[in-house]
Amino acid sequence: MSVYFATLGISIAFYRLFLNPLRRFPGDTLPALTKWQSFWVAKYGQTHHFLFAQHQKYGDYVRVGPNELSVTNVDDLPIIHGNRSKFNKGPWYWKNLNEPEPGLFSVQDWDEHKARRKAWDTAFGVKSLKAYEPRIATALDHLCARLDQFAKTGEYFDMSLWAELLAFDVMGDLGFGDSFHMLESGELHHYVEFVHIGLKFMCTLAPISWAMPLLSFVPVDKKTREVTARFFAYGADRFKSRLAKGPIKNDVFGFLLAAREEGGLTDAKLESDARNVLLGGGDTTAVLMTSLLFYLTRHPAAKAKLQAEVNTLFKDEPFDAAKLGGPPYLNACINEALRMIPPGPNGMQRVVNTPGGITLNGRYVPEGTKISVHGWSVMHDPRNFARPEEFIPERWIEGSGFKGAHNAAAFIPFSQGTYQCVGRRLALQESRMFLVRMFQNYDFQIDPNLDPKAYVAATESYLTITKSALPLTVTKLTKT
């Protein structure tokens, strides 16, 4: 028996290294042999740093698994992630074994995903966002009350924490009609811990999704398993409590329940979607708001330009979030923060399903190959964005005088195409409202002892970026 398995292992290794069509693509030897390296990299949240280093070493095409490629050639984006691409999601989007049905995020089939997504697109559409505006404003009121207290004491506070409390309070309210009330309490709700540990668990195992039947043997600590189980149980509880209220279209889940009434969704699918509601609008928005304060407090000139612009807004008219897509410097700051620290930094895995495979840059990629475009690398590539490690909002403003490469097609913070982030419009609206409220009323100063390079280097990624503490002080501005 041992001879059999030894021979089998040698045969598999020989095929993967010397016969597999992907052998023509560069990359380290270990990833070509096994995905277990990806497991360990993911376990410690280093995937975005690792893949960036791999592309720095090997170029636009890197073999990152026995049957997987990571790509940074922007010309390939339409093929892999574009609106016309029908590549299915890959096995990275595995369905948890405890789920009878996958949530929207885990649906791999292109046609099923398109059908399931309709209700979500309505829930995050322009009309819905307008209805959500007063509730976001109320959450910002609670945040401002806290900032007023910090302004009086002059103490340092962790902006990353308060951005998270804000984002999850908003998503709890807009998702299910019931805020977590964390801004009032000043404490993280236990569900946020469930989200973070659950994401870590799922993203650690995603590279070896084929091993799910052997889950009990996978080296993941007991606490992570237990908290992940609680994460799924809490999502089920939120689903049941919201279900009892009926399909009232005053929150995201109300639109999903309406689709259920029309026969489009089963209760099992809705229960899984309940977790997706909070995942889709919590961490991503918190990362963006934190990044904005990190970069703006480190760049006083940019902060001054933003404050000057927001102080001209809504002087003689009622506040209207729909108009916040217009102010150029406000949106340039948001775009630049998204480029510098994209909330979802890693490639969204797809599977080549074109019969007979495809050709990329003259090299054959067989049908069934897992493939993705690595967003962090693309948006930090000097061919796409000149001086990519510098925060320069002016690069997004035509006529600003900024010179150098600027490839808007390479800006993919929310991915692209059919599978792009469904909550992107909400994240942008909430972040715009956040910036206007913050910089019309406050001035922020960053802890001078914070090392900016270390701050970025310390980021980890478990689907979304984790945030290090961001110590700030705040001064309340006097209205003139």
Q: Write out the DSSP string of 191-246.
A: HHHHHHHHHHHHHHHGGGGGGGGGGGGS---HHHHHHHHHHHHHHHHHHHHHHTT-
Among 11-15, 130-134, 368-372, the range scoring the smallest mean pLDDT is: 11-15
pLDDT tens column, 195-232: 787 788 788 888 887 776 665 555 566 666 676 677 77
Share of the chain above pLDDT 90, in %: 59
In this predicted model, what pLDDT tens digit does every residue of 126-160 receive, in sequence order? 899 999 999 999 999 999 999 999 999 999 999 99
Q: Identify the structural domains of the chain with CATH numbers, from first to last.
A: 28-476 (1.10.630.10)
pLDDT greater than 60 at residue 97:
no
- Residues 6 or more apart in contact with residue 383 via CB below 8 angstroms: 405, 407
pLDDT, averaged across the chain = 89
Nearest to 349 by CA among 120, 80, 83, 77: 80
Bridge partner residues of 65 (DSSP): 68
- pLDDT over threshold 60, residue 72: yes
- Helix (H) or strand (E) holding 389, with range, is none
State residue 43 phi and psi, 5-degree precision: -55, -35
pLDDT in tens, 104-118: 777 778 888 888 888
DSSP annotation of 396 reads G
Give me the helices (H) in 66-125, please: 77-81, 110-123
Please report the pLDDT score of residue 98 as a whole number.
Answer: 57
* Residue ranges at the known binding site for heme: 421
Average pLDDT of span 441-447: 98
Is residue 249 scored above 80 in pLDDT?
Answer: no
Contact (Cβ atoms closer than 8 angstroms) between residue 88 and residue 350: yes
Output the known binding site.
421
Sign of CA dihedral 201, 207, 213, 217: negative
Each residue's pLDDT tens digit, 462-471: 988 988 899 9
* Separation between Cα atoms, residue 325 and residue 322, nearest integer Å: 7
Cα 258 to Cα 125, 229, 263: the distances in Å are: 15, 28, 9
The b/e string for 413-443 (b: 16+ C-beta within 10 A; e otherwise) is bbbbbbbebbbbbbbbbbbbbbbbbbbebbb
What integer pLDDT is reported at residue 298 of this predicted model? 98
Would you say 168 and 286 are in contact if contact means Cβ atoms under 8 Å apart? yes
Q: Does residue 177 have a pLDDT over 90?
A: no
Six-digit token pair at 407? Answer: 């490839």
